[in-house]
C-alpha cells in the first residue's frame, strides 16, 4: 500500500471513500458488541473484522494517525472481551457454533492478523491463536462438532474459517494450525454431508447446480450462496500456497471459469437473492436483489488472488470489468456508503441496517474493492513486472530477490480516452520483462516503447517487452475504443472500452424503457463522447438510434440518444436517476417467421 498512489477519477472516488467511510467509521462501536453475549443467529461479529480488512490497508496507504488511533482503540476494546477459554464472539453459550458464529470468528481472526502484520504486536497474534485453539476444541479432530454441518449454507460459512487458520500457520509456523486447516479442507470434501467443492468443480458442475434449489432459502440447505462459496475457495487457495496441492488451485480455477461463463453479467458481478442462478443467461430480466456488493467485492478479491498465483490475463480482465462497472455502481455519489444491491436497470440504494446496528454487511465490505485495486494494479513475478490495471497512478514493486525496485507511473485520462502513457522508473538500469495486459475488448492495440512500435499485442493476453530498462523510458499504449454492441434475449447493450453504458432519465431525452432498434451485432457502433452538465455523471455519450415501435414516427428516424457509464447511472439512489442498461429490441414480424399462438396440439 505504501508504494501505490491512485490519481484521476478512481483516485478521487477512493480517497472520498477512505475519508467519509473507512476513517469515519467508529471501530469501537463495532467492537463494543463483543461485550454482550446475547446472540443466537445474527452476524454482528463480522462487521469489525470486515472494517479491519479495509482500514489497515487504508492506514498503510494514507498514514492517517487519526485512523490509527481509531484502530488501536477498537482493538483494545475487542481483546478485552476475550474469555479465558479464548472465545471472542457475541453468541450465548447454548448457541455456540450455530448460524453465523464461526463466520464471525473468521473475520475477527482476520482483523487481528491484519493488525499484527501492521504492528508486529505479539499479543494480538496470541489472541488470534487463542480463538483458533478454542475453535479446535469444538470442531477440530476428535471434537463432537462437525464443521461441515454447522452454521449456514451447507457449512460453507463455517468452513470459510479455513483462510485465517492458514494465515495463523503462516505467521506462527505451528503445525497444529496447518493440520487443522487440512482437517477443514477434508471436511469440505470427504464426508457424506460435505459441500464437496473440490470434486464438483473438477467434475464441471456449474456453481448454480451444485445443490438442489433450497427450502428454506436462508438456511444450511442453501448451498448456492455466492459470497460464502467464493470465501471457501479463497481459503483453499491459501492452503494451496502452503501445501502445493494442485487440486485446490484447479478446483478454484474451474469454479471461477463457471462463474465467468454462467454468472458474471455485463457489469462484472452476479447473483440474485445473493445466490448463483445461471445469471448470465437471465441478466436481461429483472431479478430481486441482484449483484450484492458483498458478492462484487469478494469476486474481485478472488480474481486478484488467482491473478497473483497464475499470472493469467483473464483474471485481470475480470477485475477491470468489475472495477469500472459493477463496483463503481455500488458507491453512493459522495462515496460515504455503498448500495446493498445493484440491478442493471431501475434504482438502487443503501439497503437496511442489520442486526440492530447502524451498518450492514455490504457497507462493511464495500471499501475492500478499492483495496483490491491497490493490491493488483502492479505486480512482480520472477524477472517481470506486470501492469494489470490501467489508470492514472504511480506504483512500485520490489523485484524478486529484493535486489531492486521498479516504479511505473501511468498518465492520461483512460478510460475516458483511449491512451495511456507509462513511464518506467527502475532504481537502477536493469534487464527485465515488462508484461503489459492487452484487454480482451481491445482488438487492435498499438504499443510503442520510446516511440518505436512493438509488435505482438494480442487481445486477452500479456505483451512481454523484454529489454534493459532505463529510468525515464516511456511506453505509449493506444487501445481500441471501437463501440460495441452485445445482444441477448431480444435485448442489447452498448460498451466502449472497459465501460458498459446505460440510459438515465437525467438526460431527459426520452423514456429510458422504450424499445430501440438494435444495431447489427458484430459491427462497430459509433459512440460519441459528449459533455454532461450534471456533476454526478462521470462520462456521457450519444449513440444515434431509432427508438419506439411506430415506424412512421419521428423517433424512428436516427437521432442521438444519451448514455452514461453504468457506474454513474442511478447514483442519486432515487427515481430521478432511473436507468436502464439492456434495451429491448422490438419484434419485426416482416423479418422473422410468424408462429401462431393457437397452433392446435398434435
**Residue the block writes with cell 521498479:** 406
pTM: 0.97
| Rounded Cα distance, 226 and 253, in Å | 15
* 520 CB neighbour count, 10 Å cutoff: 9
Reported as type and span, the H/E element at residue 433 is: strand 430-438
Kindly list the strands in the beta sheet with 405-411, ordered across the sheet, starting from the edge strand earlier in the chain: 4-6, 393-398, 405-411, 419-426, 473-478, 446-449, 452-454
Which has the minimum average pLDDT: 84-88, 315-319, 493-497, 554-558? 554-558
Written as one string, the DSSP assignment of 177-197 is: HHHHHHHHHHHTTSSTTS--H
Model pLDDT for residues 355-408, shown as the tens digit of each residue: 999 999 999 999 999 999 999 999 999 899 999 999 999 999 998 877 789 999
Answer for the pair 129, 122: CB distance below 8 angstroms, yes or no: no
95-122 as b/e, with b when 16 or more CB fall inside 10 Å? bbbbbbbbbbbbbbbbbbbbbbbbeebe
Task: Tell me the backbone φ, ψ of residue 286, rounded to 5 degrees.
Answer: -60, 145
DSSP one-letter code for 325: I
CA 127 – CA 161 distance, rounded (Å): 16
Surface-to-core class of residue 7, CB atoms within 10 Å of its CB (0-12 exposed, 13-18 middle, 19+ buried):
middle
Superfamily of domain 381-478: Golgi alpha-mannosidase II (2.60.40.1180)
| Pair type for strands 384-387 and 430-438 | parallel
CA distance 259 to 144: 35
Q: Read off the pLDDT of each residue in 55-61 and give the average, rounded to a whole number.
A: 96
Sign, CA dihedral 444-447-453-455, equals negative
CA 268, CA 317: separation in Å to the nearest integer? 10
Q: Given the C-alpha cell 431480444, which residue does it identify?
A: 490
Amino acid 590: pLDDT: 83
pLDDT in tens, 141-154: 999 999 999 999 99
CA distance 452 to 91: 64
155 DSSP assignment: T
Q: 280-312: per-residue pLDDT in tens?
A: 999 999 999 999 999 999 999 999 999 999 999
Cell of 295: 458478492
Give the domain ranges of the chain: 1-145, 381-478, 484-584
Beta bridge partners, 562, equal 542
Rounded CA-CA distance 514/580 in Å is: 10
- Rounded distance between C-alpha atoms, residue 113 and residue 78, angstroms: 13
From residue 357, give the alpha-carbon distance in Å to each of 30, 71, 228, 330: 9, 19, 22, 21
Cell numbers describing residue 56 = 489497515
Which phi and psi (to 5°) does residue 380 adopt? -115, 140
pLDDT per position as a tens digit, 150-170: 999 999 999 999 999 999 999
Please give the Cα distance from 169 to 476 (Å, whole number).
44
Report phi then psi at 562, rounded to 5.
-85, 145
pLDDT band at 559 (very low <50, low <70, confident <90, very high): very high
pLDDT, tens digit, for every residue of 108-132?
999 999 999 999 999 999 999 999 9
Cis ω for the linkage preceding 281 (within 30 of 0)? no
Amino acid at each position: 500500500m505504501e508504494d501505490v498512489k491512485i490519481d484521476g477519477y478512481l483516485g478521487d472516488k477512493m480517497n472520498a471513500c477512505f475519508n467519509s467511510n473507512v476513517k469515519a467509521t467508529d471501530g469501537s462501536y463495532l467492537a463494543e458488541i463483543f461485550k454482550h453475549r446475547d446472540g443466537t443467529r445474527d452476524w454482528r461479529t463480522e462487521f469489525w473484522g470486515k472494517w479491519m480488512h479495509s482500514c489497515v490497508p487504508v492506514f498503510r496507504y494514507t498514514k492517517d494517525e487519526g485512523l490509527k488511533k481509531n484502530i488501536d482503540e477498537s482493538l483494545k476494546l475487542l481483546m478485552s472481551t476475550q474469555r479465558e477459554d479464548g472465545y471472542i464472539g457475541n453468541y450465548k453459550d447454548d448457541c455456540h457454533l450455530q448460524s453465523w458464529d464461526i463466520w464471525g470468528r473468521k473475520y475477527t481472526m482476520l482483523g487481528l492478523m491484519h493488525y499484527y502484520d501492521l504492528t508486529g504486536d505479539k499479543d494480538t497474534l496470541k489472541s488470534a491463536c487463542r480463538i483458533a485453539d478454542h475453535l479446535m476444541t469444538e470442531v477440530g479432530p476428535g471434537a463432537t462438532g462437525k464443521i461441515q454441518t454447522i452454521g449456514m449454507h451447507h457449512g460453507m460459512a463455517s468452513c470459510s474459517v479455513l483462510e485465517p487458520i492458514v494465515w495463523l500457520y503462516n505467521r506462527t509456523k505451528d503445525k497444529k494450525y496447518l493440520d487443522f486447516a487440512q482437517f477443514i479442507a477434508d471436511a469440505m470434501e470427504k464426508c457424506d454431508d460435505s459441500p464437496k467443492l473440490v470434486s464438483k468443480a473438477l467434475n464441471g458442475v456449474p456453481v448454480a447446480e451444485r445443490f438442489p434449489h433450497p427450502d428454506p432459502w436462508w438456511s444450511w440447505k442453501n448451498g448456492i450462496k455466492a459470497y460464502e462459496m467464493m470465501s471457501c475457495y479463497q481459503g483453499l487457495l491459501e492452503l494451496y500456497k502452503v501445501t502445493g496441492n494442485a487440486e485446490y488451485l484447479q478446483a478454484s480455477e474451474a469454479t471461477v471459469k463457471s462463474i465467468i461463463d454462467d454468472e458474471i453479467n455485463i457489469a462484472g458481478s452476479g447473483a440474485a437473492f445473493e445466490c448463483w442462478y445461471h445469471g448470465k443467461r437471465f441478466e436481461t430480466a429483472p431479478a430481486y436483489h441482484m449483484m450484492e456488493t458483498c458478492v462484487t467485492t469478494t469476486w474481485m478479491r478472488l480474481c486478484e488472488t488467482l491473478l497473483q498465483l497464475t499470472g493469467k490475463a483473464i483474471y485481470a480482465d475480470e477485475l477491470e470489468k468489475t472495477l469500472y462497472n459493477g463496483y463503481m455502481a455500488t458507491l453512493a455519489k459522495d462515496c460515504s456508503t455503498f448500495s446493498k444491491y445493484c440491478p442493471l436497470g431501475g434504482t438502487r440504494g443503501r439497503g437496511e441496517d442489520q442486526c440492530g446496528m447502524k451498518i450492514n454487511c455490504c457497507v462493511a465490505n464495500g471499501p475492500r474493492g478499492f483495496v483490491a485495486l491497490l493490491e493488483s494494479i502492479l505486480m512482480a513475478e520472477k524477472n517481470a513486472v506486470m501492469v494489470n490495471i490501467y489508470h492514472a497512478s504511480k506504483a512500485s514493486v520490489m523485484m524478486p530477490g529484493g535486489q531492486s525496485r521498479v516504479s511505473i507511473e501511468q498518465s492520461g485520462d483512460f478510460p475516458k480516452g483511449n491512451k495511456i502513457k507509462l513511464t518506467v522508473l527502475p532504481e537502477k538500469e536493469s534487464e527485465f520483462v515488462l508484461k503489459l495486459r492487452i484487454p480482451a475488448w481491445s482488438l487492435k492495440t498499438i504499443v510503442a516503447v520510446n516511440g518505436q512500435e512493438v509488435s505482438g499485442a494480442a487481445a486477452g493476453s500479456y505483451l512481454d517487452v523484454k529489454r534493459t530498462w532505463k529510468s525515464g523510458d516511456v511506453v505509449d499504449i493506444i487501445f481500441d475504443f471501437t463501440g460495441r454492441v452485445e445482444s441477448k434475449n431480444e435485448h442489447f447493450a452498448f460498451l466502449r472500452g472497459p465501460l458498459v453504458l446505460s440510459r438515465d432519465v437525467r438526460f431527459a431525452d426520452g423514456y429510458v424503457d422504450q424499445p430501440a432498434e438494435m444495431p447489427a451485432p458484430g459491427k462497430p457502433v459509433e459512440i460519441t463522447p459528449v459533455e454532461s452538465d450534471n456533476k454526478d455523471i462521470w462520462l456521457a455519450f450519444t449513440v444515434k438510434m431509432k427508438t419506439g415501435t411506430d415506424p412512421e414516427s419521428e423517433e424512428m428516424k436516427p437521432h442521438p440518444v444519451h448514455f452514461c457509464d453504468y457506474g454513474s447511472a442511478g447514483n442519486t439512489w432515487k427515481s430521478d436517476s432511473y436507468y436502464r442498461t439492456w434495451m429491448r429490441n422490438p419484434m419485426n414480424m416482416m423479418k422473422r417467421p410468424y408462429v401462431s399462438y393457437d397452433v392446435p396440439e398434435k
